[in-house]
């Protein structure tokens, strides 16, 4: 009985470790490319949102944000971004653009060659999930 319980506990710890490791993988070099926002199942007419990151340095660059939905049509805006070593991502308008639309301040919790997740830096709430669709 003790062997069985020990085996179950070890298996549970191994599964938890794998999931946590995958969720917390962070490689800032993977940010370059095209990321498409993913939505939960059942979200109807969510449209398409794509972020294309163009690094200029290790921690900054430009990002093209493409949105498309049936009501507003297609729109692309161009922003600057900075990324700290701890994964804090800030997307802001370029200096000559005085709009506040499509600004972002979040923490990237997972970033690898195929997946990225954004969380609220203060509350840990997941804000968005993305899959990489190109370079």
Q: Which residues does 32 contact at the CB level (< 8 Å), separation at least 6?
A: 53, 54, 55, 135
* 6-51 per-position pLDDT tens digit: 333 333 333 333 444 345 578 889 999 999 999 988 776 778 999 9
Dmax over CA atoms of the chain, in Å, equals: 70
Global pTM value: 0.78
Domains of the chain in sequence order: 26-134 (2.40.128.280)
More confident residue, 2 or 24: 24
78: pLDDT strictly greater than 90: yes
pLDDT tens figures, 40-61:
887 767 789 999 999 999 999 9
């Amino acid at each position: 009985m003790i062997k069985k319980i020990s085996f179950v506990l070890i298996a549970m710890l191994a599964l938890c470790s794998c999931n946590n490791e995958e969720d917390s993988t962070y490689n800032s070099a993977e940010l370059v490319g095209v990321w498409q926002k993913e939505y939960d199942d059942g979200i109807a007419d969510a449209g398409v949102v794509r972020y294309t990151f163009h690094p200029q340095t290790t921690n900054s660059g430009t990002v093209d944000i493409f949105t498309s939905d049936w009501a507003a049509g297609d729109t692309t805006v161009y922003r600057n971004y900075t990324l700290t070593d701890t994964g804090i991502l800030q997307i802001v308008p370029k200096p000559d653009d005085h709009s506040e639309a499509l600004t972002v301040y979040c923490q990237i919790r997972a970033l690898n060659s195929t997946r990225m997740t954004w969380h609220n830096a203060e509350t840990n709430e997941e804000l968005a999930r993305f899959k990489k669709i190109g370079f």
